[in-house]
């Protein structure tokens, strides 16, 4: 059993998936990326595909991809 805190995991029918952490303040990005990295390291890729995205959703700021590949996206950029 994996014991790591993330806010959401979205999985498509083909088995691709992504993990998301929501942090309202920009200061929470480091904690959120730590959680996402921890989850990613614990995935047994013999049974489950690697995540296609690891994303931190913030309350404000700019969208960017960190050098470690984790996306940081303000909620205002997400549309339905």
Average pLDDT value for residue range 6-27: 91
69 sits in which H/E element: none
pLDDT of amino acid 19:
97
- 5 pLDDT band (50/70/90 cuts)? confident
Instruction: Map out the domains of the chain as residue ranges.
Output: 8-77
Among residues of the chain, what percentage have pLDDT more than 90? Answer: 68
Its pTM stands at 0.88
pLDDT at residue 26, as a whole number: 64
Tell which residue, 54, 57, 62, 66, has the closest CA to residue 24. 57
Task: Give the 3-state secondary structure of residue 42.
Answer: helix
């Amino acid at each position: 059993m994996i014991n790591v805190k993330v806010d959401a995991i979205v999985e498509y029918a083909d088995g691709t998936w992504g993990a998301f952490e929501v942090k309202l303040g920009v200061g929470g990005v480091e904690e959120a990326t730590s959680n996402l990295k921890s989850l990613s390291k614990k995935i047994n890729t013999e049974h489950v595909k690697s995540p296609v995205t690891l994303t931190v959703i913030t309350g404000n700021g700019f969208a960017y991809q960190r050098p470690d590949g984790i996306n940081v996206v303000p909620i205002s950029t997400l549309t339905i």
